[in-house]
Chain A
Amino acid sequence: MGEFDFTVWGPSLPFIRDGLLFTLRLTLIAMTGGIVLGTLLALARLSPIAPLSWLAGAYVDTMRSIPLVMVILWFFLVIPFLTGTPVGAETSAIITFTAFEAAYFCEIMRSGIQSVPRGQVWAAQALGLTQAQAMIHVVLPQALRNMLPVLLTQTIVLFQDTSLVYAIGAKDLLKAADVVGKNYNRPVEMIVLSALIYFAICFSLSLAVRQLQKRVAIVR
């Protein structure tokens, strides 16, 4: 065991930057896609059409009952099998995370929609808005606003979970740190660096969410 040599951090930065950029891209796409898909799933779950509601419920329950790392591996193996062409680890990761996070965002949006008082829907309908218009202009904006802190907290979890794409070799922050660590034979230093980056980003996001929660509390 030699001493720690943190000089390896210097030459590693371009690789770390590329890895971090992919991690951020994956997080943002999965968050946006997950919220959109999750909202549609939530509408389906709350729909009076029984088969639709059942199907959405089954999807959500399935996703939430399987460890994420297995879903990542499974999609990576199954998507090429279904489409006939191999997709890269990065594309596979983006699809997987969007599909997986949609299940969690669905549950958040569902309680968000249910948190909007029934009187709001009545008022919208009494003005002549259709059910769809009432949902789009009155219920969803309020649901989104009520759930903003929870949605962001889930996004922080998502950001951390993206490190699991390591399992399929996608070049994210952790993978970049791992590769550099192996090349320079300084794995511990590189793991420390990536951990610090994860920590700095998550911690500042958490602080931001706490501020936001205070503001939302005042608005109500």
Chain B
Amino acid sequence: MIEIRNLAKAYGATPVLKGCSTSVAKGEVVVVCGPSGSGKSTLIKCVNGLEAFQGGSVSVDGISVGDPKTDLPRLRARVGMVFQHFELFPHMSVRQNLALAQLKVLGRDAAEADARATKLLERVGLAAHADKFPGQLSGGQQQRVAIARALAMDPICMLFDEPTSALDPEMIGEVLDVMVELAHEGMTMMVVTHEMGFARKVAHRVIFMDQGEIVEDAPAAQFFEAPASERAKTFLARILHH
């Protein structure tokens, strides 16, 4: 589903990604973790071309992201993405947030888009809030709306960029529950997160990044029980023991 080959990116003279290669198969859940500044957010933003890259290749469902001939908006419409800061559109109601791209990108009619929106809001438990504005919702609710907004496009896979990092601790659970449910339904997911409980529960593989490199790429159980590298061991010790 997602193929990343020798991906390289630099901001000016500073390398951010130094030849990363990995892949995510259909139905697979892959967690990407690592210390801040390790390049994991940049990596996931390269998957749908939000960040440009200089070397290597990325393809989604066989379509090359870096190819200038690729219709990027069309590809992105099939790849759902959830951001750290939710990024709901503050000038639109929840319902309008879910409808916008369905109307403008998929060409659905208003009734169809609204029906899809209602169904997904029910699914994330927020049907009662459909006519509120994002500013009237809690962080956890906003992030669930953001997930519903991405799902409204019927994506073939989902990217999550630290979806719980900006949330108060008591709201993390409600967002993770939605994500766990998605994973159990067989959604292909690439998730940048520090939530190791989530990774243990649903991830098939864990990718550990440090300083722009993929240091470890292993089945989840193996990664947690016997991390191969010193860097991964130090990282795990640091985030699990507090």
Chain A residues within CB distance 8 Å of chain B: 117, 119-120, 122-130, 133, 137-138, 141-142, 145, 219-220
Contact B76 A127 (CB under 8 A): yes
- The A contact surface, by secondary structure, is helix
Given that A119-B83, A123-B83 are contacting pairs, would A128 and B89 also be in contact in the complex, using a CB cutoff of 8 Å?
Answer: no
How near does chain A come to B44, taking the closest CB pair, in angstroms? 11
Given that A127-B100, A127-B150, A128-B153 are contacting pairs, would A122 and B87 also be in contact in the complex, using a CB cutoff of 8 Å?
Answer: yes
20 residue pairs from A and B, CB less than 8 Å apart: A117-B87, A119-B85, A120-B89, A123-B87, A125-B72, A126-B50, A126-B76, A126-B83, A127-B100, A127-B101, A127-B105, A127-B153, A128-B73, A128-B105, A128-B106, A129-B100, A137-B89, A137-B100, A142-B89, A220-B135
Contact B83 A122 (CB under 8 A): yes
How near does chain A come to B154, taking the closest CB pair, in angstroms? 11
Given that A122-B83, A123-B89, A137-B104 are contacting pairs, would A128 and B50 also be in contact in the complex, using a CB cutoff of 8 Å?
Answer: no
Q: Apart from A119-B83, A126-B79, what 10 extra A-B contacts exist at CB < 8 Å?
A: A122-B45, A122-B83, A126-B50, A126-B81, A127-B150, A128-B106, A128-B153, A133-B104, A141-B91, A142-B89
Contact B83 A142 (CB under 8 A): no
Residues facing A in B75-122 (CB within 8 A) are: 76-81, 83, 85, 87-91, 100-101, 104-106
Chain B hits for A120, CB < 8 A:
87, 89
Contact B135 A127 (CB under 8 A): no
Contact with A along B43-84 (1 / 0, CB 8 A): 001001010000000000000000000001110111111010
Chain A hits for B144, CB < 8 A:
none
A-B interface, 8 closest residue pairs, ranked by CB to CB distance from nearest? A128-B77, A123-B87, A127-B101, A126-B81, A128-B105, A119-B87, A128-B76, A128-B73
Interface centre among A119, A124, A127 (most CB of B within 10 A): A127
Contact with A along B25-46 (1 / 0, CB 8 A): 0000000000000000000010
Indicate whether B9 reaches chain A with its CB closer than 8 angstroms.
Answer: no
Interface centre among A122, A128, A129, A138 (most CB of B within 10 A): A128
Contact A129 B105 (CB under 8 A): yes
For A129, give its contact among B78, B85, B104 (CB under 8 Å): B104
Indicate whether B149 reaches chain A with its CB closer than 8 angstroms.
Answer: yes
